Chains A and B, each alone.
Chain A
Amino acid sequence: MRLTLKIWRQPDAATAGAIHTYEVDEISEDMSFLEMLDVLNEQLNSEGEEPIAFDSDCREGICGMCGLMINGEAHGPQVTTTCQLHMRSFHDGETITVEPWRADAFPVLKDLVVDRGAFDRIIQQGGYISVNTGAAPDAHATPVPKDNADRAFDAATCIGCGACVASCPNGSASLFVGAKITHLGELPQGQAERDSRVVNMVAQHDHEGFGGCTNIGECTAACPKGIPLDVISQLNRDMLTAIKHGH
């Protein structure tokens, strides 16, 4: 198929960017969206124009490195990661607009590449259970009811791609934070630090410039791993509890 691509190009963080238009031809429907961009980049390279920078690594939907706004939707028209989106989701002659994640807390580094370091800094503020290597009791010392283990797992499948932030009109990372709060809060091992975790992670979230949650739900609709909206309810509930405990 033949496509017109309108792609955001920006030389670096300090320079203004703009949409550039490119044509690609002979795109097979079996290509992934990123492979289509690979083809475009080969074309640009041979024409002497610098290839477009975009992030990707595992290309099997689990590392969370890739992420593009495609026609205004985070990861494009399917609920999946950009690397798992295939060209059969588009049709011959279509015009596709490709932009980086747009959020104050995710500055653009170049073209379609953004800095998501804010996520790591949020995790540093309590997204863990404090246990040094070698200090663990036997794994069977504390049984975990299956329902709790399953809910913890569902929340823990977050890949940290940032689609929730990119799709939220407020640029909020509440789904990301709520997923970690829920993952660790469902487990007996996570109880000791439950109050301080939510308080500190939310403080860092706000400090990074992410917006507040107003229950719009675009985040969960765009989430490639289907993290449910109720992790944000859990986040709020844990926050209330922590405040009650005097935090």
Chain B
Amino acid sequence: MTDMNDIFATPQPSRDSSSEQESDDAAGYYMPGDPIQDTKAPGGPIDERWNTRQFEARIANPANRRRLSVIVVGTGLAGASAAATLGEAGYVVKSFCYQDSPRRAHSIAAQGGINAAKNYKGDGDSVYRLFYDTIKGGDYRSRESNVYRLAQVSVNIIDQCVAQGVPFAREYGGLLDNRSFGGVQVSRTFYARGQTGQQLLIGAYQALERQVAAGTVKTYTRHEMVELIVVDGRARGIIVRDMVTGELETYFADVVVLASGGYGNVFFLSTNAMGCNVTATWRAHRKGAFMANPCYTQIHPTCIPVSGPHQSKLTLMSESLRNDGRIWVPKDAKDADKNPNDIPEEDRDYYLERIYPSFGNLVPRDIASRQAKNMCDEGRGVGPEVDGVRRGVYLDFAEAIGRLGRKAIEDKYGNLFDMYAQITGEDPYEVPMRIYPAVHYVMGGLWVDYDLQSSIPGLFVTGEANFSDHGANRLGASALMQGLADGYFVLSNTIRDYLADGPFEKVAENDPAVVEAQQAVQARIDHFMTNKGTRSVDSYHRELGNIMWEYCGMERTEEGLKKAIDLIRSLSDDFWRNVKVLGSPDGLNQSLERAGRVADFFELGELMCIDALNRRESCGGHFRAESQTEEGEALRHDDQFAYVAAWEWGGQDGKPILHKENLTYEFVEMKQRSYK
């Protein structure tokens, strides 16, 4: 039997970061734990590690696979691709999603594209360059072995998708087109107009439905995972709620895969879909799966601003808009409600061009986002006042239209301008757009080793739900790449090593672990349904989101994070006492679904703040105001924080336990970035 303990690090004489961390801002909020390490990645030359692992990972006997069962939760790129591939390999797969069809998972909304080191343009791209860019983009907080593998399999993804009929953009010669994306120097991004995620997901969905027809996969739509079942230290099943009948159902398997996406909706407002939630991964966390780097959040600078207190979600617009648009706010706060076209040039502050003269409006996402917040905090924001503050800055195309002509701008950005007009009712050709940053993606997630196995044996995690490849910040067009890399090419080659020991002993329906899990789920539902509260679930979710955005958003401080933890705790207490859920548990009940999700967001939100508090450095998507250069740039502290913070659930009334995984760089040199 795989021993939990094999992830605990053997003492490394060369480095012991736990003794080097000078600050301890989160003292009192957590318990120090033993260091951990990934024990699955082979050593040796980086370009041979994946081949070595694929060879060393045992193969489950093909005749045996019909008796080996896999549960996959989530049907986005990472889940649908995994379920299809495992079905093709002959395992018995059950696939679950909360939507009414696997095709609706939120991968579908990704616009930009997918990276792959094909070097079809002959512009000097290579697996090594994609690896290097991803490590650097992640601000040296990801694992070299994992990232190198990601770059290696990226090329197979494109082959697979083309064979499935994904209609990527093509040139007149019939070959695939590429574009440059996210500030990298090569053109390695494959795309299908502005709907790449949709097309890739439909490809994976079709592969999945093909396996359904073949009888290897059974899909359970409108089923939400509400608990993980761990028996004798192994993940052996899940409890789901049938969202139509309200029935709680228990499913067992030899292995459980979570591909349930990210938790950006802890902020309430984000570019995530309404249903995106942390429940699957959080329930696993409470059963022993470590949550890694939960504070790493990516905030996207070019989203459509909040229009009022009714706002339910935020919509992203491609950041390519910053190539031609100029960002500004009025110099004087009293001009905030003036018609922008009436504000003369000398009264405008093109603040990015002023502060960062060489990069101007093209500074990285986190800088553009933070500066927009700073302008609005100064009272110079524009657009409608929401809770007393105007949260928007202008993105102005007047100069570009003057220089290139309206036609050229229409050709380049027509669909984005139409989308903006549809949502805001304003014509961006005549009036400057208003933009504001929004939470977009989370780099944090469940801790996994090189095999994508969590700290619970038999629980594997793929896609945005894991933490593994993006470090502290994700490059554009890399989320789709990672989801499909994990699902099509990595997981099927690593999970077989675990399954080679199966099938495992059948779990008894009345096993105490099963009964206890079922009772816990039922008790939670009973609480919500019988609680005589007065406030709706959404009102709590919005308030939690405001706390997270204010104190654990673009800029974090020791003082703010401590305040946030207090606020979250008292709001959470109030939620449990005072939430009001109407209707019946025995049928479709959307308030009940949301209540369970928001309950988990409270616990996650607190851990995110503790993680952010502990990490007294700025790196990637995490900016601590106490750790910046004189110019206000993010400042890492590699001597203290070159580690993955993997948090173990410390119990309902206990404190989370911090396990550190040291990050060592054998192939890439760690550098500080500069965009001045």
Contacts and interface: CB of A to CB of B under 8 A. Distances in A.
A92 B167 CA distance: 44
Given A59-B274, A128-B207, A153-B192, A35 B587 contact: no
A109 B244 contact: yes
Nearest to A113: B588
Contacts of B316: 60
Interface string B265-276: 000000101110
B106 A42 contact: no
A51 B174 contact: no
B587 A149 contact: no
Interface in A140-192: 140, 142-146, 149-150, 152-153, 156-157, 159-160, 183-184, 187, 189-190
Nearest to A56: B274
B510 interface: no
A63 B104 contact: yes
A28 B425 CA distance: 12
Contact of B423 (A64, A84, A134): A84
Contacts, number: 221
A191 to B, nearest CB: 11
Contacts of B424: 30
B356 interface: no
B587 A143 contact: no
A55 interface: yes
* Contact residues on A (Cβ < 8 Å of other chain), bracket: 35 or more
Interface in A83-122: 84, 86, 88, 109-110, 113, 115-117, 119-120
A184 B209 CA distance: 15
A160 B101 CA distance: 9
Contact of B312 (A59, A130, A131): A59
Interface string B291-303: 0000000000000
Contacts of A159: 198
Interface string A30-49: 11101110110010011011
Given A51-B582, A157-B198, A149 B206 contact: no
Nearest to B202: A156
Interface residues of B, number: 83
A17 interface: no
A58 interface: yes
B170 A133 contact: no
A59 B210 contact: no
B590 A140 contact: no
Contacts of B160: 131, 133-134, 136
Contacts of A124: 209-210, 212-213
B536 A127 contact: no
A2 to B, nearest CB: 15
Contacts of B109: 58, 60, 62-63
A214 interface: no
B100 A136 contact: no
Contacts of A117: 100-101, 221
Given A58-B109, A63-B273, A138 B311 contact: no
B199 interface: yes
A58 B106 contact: yes
B156 A35 contact: no
A230 interface: no
B158 interface: yes
Contacts of A23: none
Interface string B167-188: 1111111111000000000000
B315 interface: yes
Contacts of A189: 162-165
A50 interface: yes
Contacts of B219: 120
A32 B274 CA distance: 14
Contact of A120 (B101, B106, B538): B101
Given A137-B163, A189-B163, A65 B104 contact: yes
Q: Is the interface of A mostly helix, strand, loop or mixed?
A: loop
A63 B106 contact: yes
Given A55-B100, A127-B206, A136 B163 contact: yes
Contact of A153 (B100, B193, B582): B193
A174 B166 CA distance: 22
Contact of B165 (A45, A46, A138, A152): A152
Contacts of B308: 28, 30-31
Given A57-B104, A183-B167, A187-B165, A138 B315 contact: no
Contact of B582 (A48, A128, A137, A152): A48
Interface string B8-49: 000000000000000000000000000000000000000000
Contacts of B212: 120, 124
B63 to A, nearest CB: 18
A184 B199 CA distance: 12
B56 interface: no
Contacts of A116: 100-101
Contacts of A39: 310
A34 B209 CA distance: 30
A76 B494 CA distance: 49
Contact of B425 (A29, A128, A152, A160): A29
B159 to A, nearest CB: 4
A138 B116 CA distance: 13
B597 interface: no
Contact of B85 (A130, A133, A157, A190): A133
A19 interface: no
Contact of B209 (A30, A53, A127): A127
A34 B165 contact: no
B389 to A, nearest CB: 17
Interface in B558-613: 580, 582-583, 587-591
B156 A110 contact: no
B275 A80 contact: no
Nearest to B84: A133
A49 B162 CA distance: 50
Interface string B68-91: 000000000000010011001000
A56 B206 CA distance: 22
B348 to A, nearest CB: 25
Contact of A57 (B85, B158, B274): B274
A140 B170 CA distance: 11
Contacts of A187: 165, 167
A212 interface: no
Contacts of A34: 312
A48 B581 CA distance: 9
A40 to B, nearest CB: 11
7 contacts: A30-B308, A50-B583, A51-B583, A63-B104, A63-B108, A136-B156, A152-B167
Interface of B: 81, 84-85, 88, 99-106, 108-109, 118, 120, 156, 158-165, 167-176, 192-193, 195, 198-199, 202, 205-207, 209-210, 212-213, 219, 221, 244, 271, 273-275, 307-308, 310-313, 315-316, 384, 422-425, 488-489, 492, 534, 536, 538-539, 580, 582-583, 587-591
Given A57-B99, A133-B488, A139-B118, 6 more contacts: A58-B104, A58-B108, A110-B244, A125-B213, A134-B156, A139-B159
